[in-house]
Amino acid sequence: MKILALINSDKPFGVAANAAAHASLGLASRLVANGTPLPTREWKDGALVHPALADVPLEIKMGDVNMLRRARALAKSKGLTFTDFTQTMTGDTYVEQLEKTKAAAEADLEYYCVLIAGNEDDLSLE
């Protein structure tokens, strides 16, 4: 398994980092729910000295909102596990964010981050 993180290059670092952090938690949760939790590794003498670190490659790419939208659509069409973070998930209260996100049409979403899990071939954006 490998994870591809696509981050909107038009966003300031703090906004992009926040989106990537939220999306990472969401992807990990989806993987566990699907029965494929992220593996960890024993690092020293059989001890998990860093137990929260996943033992999977993570590739980070920057791109514009259209690249993120295409990658998300491709992941969805391939049946891959993915998650995203959009402009509707910021500001206001948590409840208002959920309402805005649920009410938004996909075409109106501005993707800040898209995370996709799969094998190397599945994660090709072409």
pLDDT at position 69 over 90? yes
CA distance 112 to 89: 10
pLDDT category of residue 70 using cuts at 50, 70 and 90: very high
Name the residue among 64, 8, 54, 9 with its Cα closest to residue 31.
54
Q: Which regions of the chain does DSSP assign to beta strands (E)?
A: 2-8, 58-63, 81-86, 111-118
Which residues are registered as beta bridge partners of 118? 2
pLDDT at position 19 over 90? yes
Its pTM stands at: 0.89
Mean pLDDT of 94-100: 95
Q: What is the dihedral of CA 61, 15, 40, 59, to 10 degrees?
A: 0
pLDDT at position 5 over 90? yes
Which residue would you say has higher pLDDT here, 38 or 53? 38
Question: Which one-letter DSSP state was computed for residue 88?
Answer: G
Mean pLDDT of 70-79: 95
CA distance 120 to 105: 30
